[in-house]
Amino acid sequence: MTFPTIQLPQRALTLSQNVISMPKASYFSLPIVIALTVFLVISEAPGILRDWTINQNPVTLDSGDIRDGKCSTRKGFFTNCSAHLNYTYNGQSYDKDVEIMFVDIHAGDYDTNLVISGDHPDLATLSLGIDKLWNRIITLAVFVALLGGASIAVIFQILRVWRVRGRLRQPAQLVPVPVEITAFDRRRKRLTVTYADKIAGKKTGRAAHTRFEPGQEPLLVGENGGKAVALAVWHGNTSLPVLLDAQLERIEMTAEERARVLAPLTAELGGRPLELVVRGKKGPSIMTRLARFFLVILLIIGGIFGYWLWYVTSAGSQFTSPAMDLNNMMPTALNRWGCDQLKKRFGDQRAPFGCTASDYTSWK
């Protein structure tokens, strides 16, 4: 598919400053996401390292005292448990506060014991923390990967925009290119547009943002798949194209040059400019979007359940990870049934995580 374009003067041209922008939300959200990532690591990593050490040589103390133990569940499956531990070992008394976070689908109370490290008796935790150790490791890793990855992506985008702005200070040859407008927002007489070079030219698929001054509109030249197509220009070797306005005021040219450049385009478009409105196909309704969302959720749940079912009935090893963690997260009835299936095939071997008794070795 081809779109009308323009013929710019064959010389180095200068573009207006700050024609490439970043959403303001990016600058506000970045420190919040970074702070949340650091908070998660600081709050959860020490407890995981402690329980990892304890798990190398765990000793269950029947005489230990667990006080003020409580668990709270958020969003239906994020569980946070805390307790105060008081115990005596080899004549030495210890007081410890323990807090653990994990993902679980559970109703009711948790049964737990006080566990210490045989090598480092000053390290103590709940047996629940040992049982959920891999669950906690995976949960922290996923959150850090998602939040950290989002932070890195935003930082990279900000640096790229700054680099493009720096290059736009110098005149360069401009090459017109059609781009697809993926989103726009009108607020307080200003138009904010998100666009991507998916149509032609240097197809990078990168999204860029720009804000037009009051009264300005993008230079539209058609539609592609129900989305508006506008003209942008590549400025030398910059990594993002710059969206043009309908009057070409973003390019430093004389009024006569602008008129000569726009005349053939206006004639090709039928003498009237296109307007940026909700055009083409109507987007899906709220009910359709909800149906798609719940369908995706059901597919994910079905995939997880199928993977768990394969593990307990057909897997070649009872120590398949993360399947054994998934089995441990199942409701009590399903977990018990799954452990029974595993025990039928591996009953003469050590029990996997999620199916162990209080000694962490035999089958429960």
41 lies in a domain?
yes
- Same domain, yes or no, for 84 and 57? yes
Tell me what pLDDT residue 48 has: 93
225 lies in a domain?
yes
Q: Which residues pair with 176 in a beta bridge?
A: 233
Tell me what pLDDT residue 125 has: 92
Is the confidence at residue 284, as pLDDT, over 80?
no
Q: What is the mean pLDDT of the chain?
A: 84
20 lies in a domain?
no
Tell me what pLDDT residue 1 has: 63
Is the confidence at residue 286, as pLDDT, over 50?
yes
pLDDT digits (tens, 9 = 90+) for 20-71: 888 777 888 888 889 989 988 998 999 999 999 999 999 998 888 888 888 8
- Residue that terminates a domain, selected from 297, 318, 342: 297
Residue span of the structural domain in which 349 resides:
304-364
What CA–CA distance (Å, rounded) separates 338 from 247? 69
The 10 Å CB-count burial string (b at 16+, else e) for 307-337 is ebeebbeebeebebebbbbbbbbbeeebbee
Task: Kindly indicate the confidence band of residue 152, based on its pLDDT and cuts at 50, 70 and 90.
Answer: very high
CA proximity to 243, closest of 262, 277, 269, 217: 217
Tell me what pLDDT residue 271 has: 60
Domain total for the chain?
3
Are 204 and 268 contacting, i.e. CB atoms less than 8 angstroms apart? no
- Same domain, yes or no, for 136 and 231? no
pLDDT digits (tens, 9 = 90+) for 252-280: 999 999 899 888 888 887 765 555 543 33
pLDDT digits (tens, 9 = 90+) for 173-190: 998 988 888 888 877 777
pLDDT digits (tens, 9 = 90+) for 119-140: 999 999 999 899 889 989 998 9
Tell me what pLDDT residue 277 has: 45
165 lies in a domain?
no
| Cα–Cα distance list, 126 to 66, 73, 360 (Å) | 9, 17, 13
274 lies in a domain?
yes
